[in-house]
Structure 1
């Protein structure tokens, strides 16, 4: 039974009803010695508490897109086939421009909570050694005959940790929010791509390449990127690409944008952090060396050539704002950093806050990404 499916949700609701009815029906009818009666009543109370917690968890999980399946919940999922040392640029020395096109087959997304127009595929990264699902939403102009020769800009969207690749479409409703804005010309007609980011069970990869462990950076910035340009009418140059994320995904987005100005022109961080230690489960927080290498603030500070990239950083006091201001102070042209402060009491560190920011984020991206 699917963790996020309606049958499992209804099962938890039914169990809660049973847990409430049992004490009412049997409390005074339990026979036997006093110790047996007390033990039976205690078990009924524990059953009621466990079923109530399970139901609330399922509702919260479905609403926020935390765990996609049982493997993600139990920490038993492994989407890494190999993790070779791919070198500083994460390509393993392969010339991607010379590689033949290999279009991927997509089908309509099976989870209808993501809204109309979302497609999905299971994809094996040819360089990263990672495999997982990728979701794609095409703008309303994509199938318009007037745009048949147009290549569209792309935004790669990343969830937090734990987090599901579905969350941007389901919880944040990015497709349903942007479709009318694109039809009115308020924002550019972006292709939106959501790849799996939970690759190693209950461990956050930090979207980094760690030889012998995982090549998450290459999965996101090389393999998925090339698959999209091979399959769809998507722009190939960095001027047509951006990456956006919230929470741990925000840290990833900033890190990827700063590390790869040759692949992304803009990065969006919603309630993110710079120091990987902001997510204790992150592989990049395990040693001082990894923390330093994968901290986008330190990456900016030590860059001999400032990256040609624009960053949008949004956060509340103590939840991303100070990190954004530090990036802004460290940035040197052509790097630009726009920081916006989330008011206190706006909703905290949660999807409701990030959902409200979607229109502003894509208006900003429309100014940064070449149409």
Structure 2
């Protein structure tokens, strides 16, 4: 049973209930004075509390998608991947940076047929420049498999979770491929390849998508390695105008930052409940190496004030009640100047959670698609 297994959650809940019942049943028998009765009462209380906390922790992890496995939780899985390159047709091609691990249906009506609903491919991406190795899902739209489009390149969007997040949540909770398939069929969204992964590409560290001095070069991975690997193995455009990037929370900050700092790589960005600057904390370690200028350059409000405005489009979202970043989001919108353009989705209320992001995602995905060139 894995960390996100329903069976594990049910088992731990059953243990918690049993521990509570045992406490009620045995407490009168342990009400006497003496070391053994006291130790018994302490044991019952401690065991019951630990079981309840474990059940709550598993339920919260399952809902928010923080950690996918015990190895992910403890950061013990450091095994490097082996690169086996594939072309879009699924045959070995000798192209760089991508290992094909399997395919799955999209989960919409007609999902068994790639020509009708598209297809989800599970891949392993290995950065030839940075050496970063991370899993991802690639959604290919139905047109990718249709004869009429066999020579066409498609726009692509990188989709990021928050920190630490699980890539699976982009499919199971956020439903990016399902939404894309439905909206492409309805004509709301142009056929677009989605590359879905989490920003935590060197777990468990939260790198905030930075090239950390003397550390992992995560920004280079997303702006060079990832794009090169996808472009080498799928029919995607290779100009910045063909690429967008979207994410929630930390993923939203990463999306906004990488498009603003690298407009030649990403011309459109969507930040669902994103923030605009970062700092050192226990999950990040030392991000800046004491370099104040580097810290400033990862602050997007500072960037708007001190750097030329990038020629990109950005969409930011928040809510008037329930989101901590509402005032910062409005300040960011006000600070944007040409040639950068900005749009927003501001809800009357909504917290920093999947429920809120699922309300924003359909319109946001459509809008980003409209800003990507074929």
Shorter-chain TM-score bucket reads: 0.7 to 0.9
Structure 2: how far apart are the matches of 1:159 and 1:254? Answer: 13
User: What is the match of residue 92 of structure 1?
Assistant: none
CA distance 1:110–1:48, shift in 2 (3 Å): farther
SS in 1 for 2:54: helix
Structure 2: how far apart are the matches of 1:40 and 1:15? Answer: 18
Gaps of 5+ in 1: 82-99
Structure 1: how far apart are the matches of 2:277 and 2:269? Answer: 17
User: What is the match of residue 105 of structure 1?
Assistant: 99
Structure 2: how far apart are the matches of 1:47 and 1:109? Answer: 43
Of stretches 327-336 and 261-270 in structure 1, the one that deviates more from structure 2 is 327-336
User: What is the match of residue 49 of structure 1?
Assistant: 49
Question: 2:206 aligned with 1:210, yes or no?
Answer: no
Q: Is the contact between residue 156 and residue 244 of structure 1 (CA under 8 Å) also seen in structure 2?
A: yes
Question: Which of residues 171, 174, 184 in structure 2 aligns to 1:172?
Answer: 174
Structure 2: how far apart are the matches of 1:261 and 1:120? Answer: 28
Quote the offset at 1:24 in angstroms: 4.4
User: What is the match of residue 114 of structure 2?
Assistant: none
Structure 1: how far apart are the matches of 2:258 and 2:65? Answer: 23
CA distance 1:177–1:110, shift in 2 (3 Å): closer
Q: Is the contact between residue 321 and residue 340 of structure 1 (CA under 8 Å) also seen in structure 2?
A: no
Gaps of 5+ in 2: 82-93, 112-118
Q: Is the contact between residue 97 and residue 125 of structure 2 (CA under 8 Å) also seen in structure 1?
A: no
Q: Deviations over 1:41-63 (max 9, x none)?
A: 23122212211221121122112
CA distance 1:18–1:112, shift in 2 (3 Å): farther
CA distance 1:31–1:280, shift in 2 (3 Å): closer
Of stretches 275-284 and 357-366 in structure 1, the one that deviates more from structure 2 is 275-284
User: What is the match of residue 356 of structure 1?
Assistant: 359
Q: Is the contact between residue 270 and residue 320 of structure 1 (CA under 8 Å) also seen in structure 2?
A: no
Q: Is the contact between residue 61 and residue 67 of structure 1 (CA under 8 Å) also seen in structure 2?
A: yes
User: What is the match of residue 331 of structure 2?
Assistant: 326
Where relative contact order (Cα < 8 A, 6+ residues apart) is larger, the structure is 1
Quote the offset at 1:262 in angstroms: 0.7
User: What is the match of residue 85 of structure 2?
Assistant: none
Q: Is the contact between residue 78 and residue 201 of structure 1 (CA under 8 Å) also seen in structure 2?
A: no
Q: Is the contact between residue 272 and residue 319 of structure 1 (CA under 8 Å) also seen in structure 2?
A: no
Q: Is the contact between residue 244 and residue 266 of structure 2 (CA under 8 Å) also seen in structure 1?
A: yes
User: What is the match of residue 277 of structure 1?
Assistant: 279
Quote the offset at 1:102 in angstroms: 2.5
SS in 1 for 2:8: helix
User: What is the match of residue 68 of structure 1?
Assistant: 68
SS in 2 for 1:214: coil
User: What is the match of residue 189 of structure 1?
Assistant: 191
Aligned residues: 350
Q: Is the contact between residue 139 and residue 189 of structure 1 (CA under 8 Å) also seen in structure 2?
A: yes
Quote the offset at 1:182 in angstroms: 1.3
TM-score normalized by structure 2?
A: 0.83
CA distance 1:216–1:4, shift in 2 (3 Å): same
User: What is the match of residue 294 of structure 2?
Assistant: 290
User: What is the match of residue 227 of structure 1?
Assistant: 229
Of stretches 71-80 and 226-235 in structure 1, the one that deviates more from structure 2 is 71-80
Question: Which of residues 249, 252, 255 in structure 2 aligns to 1:253?
Answer: 255
SS in 2 for 1:118: strand
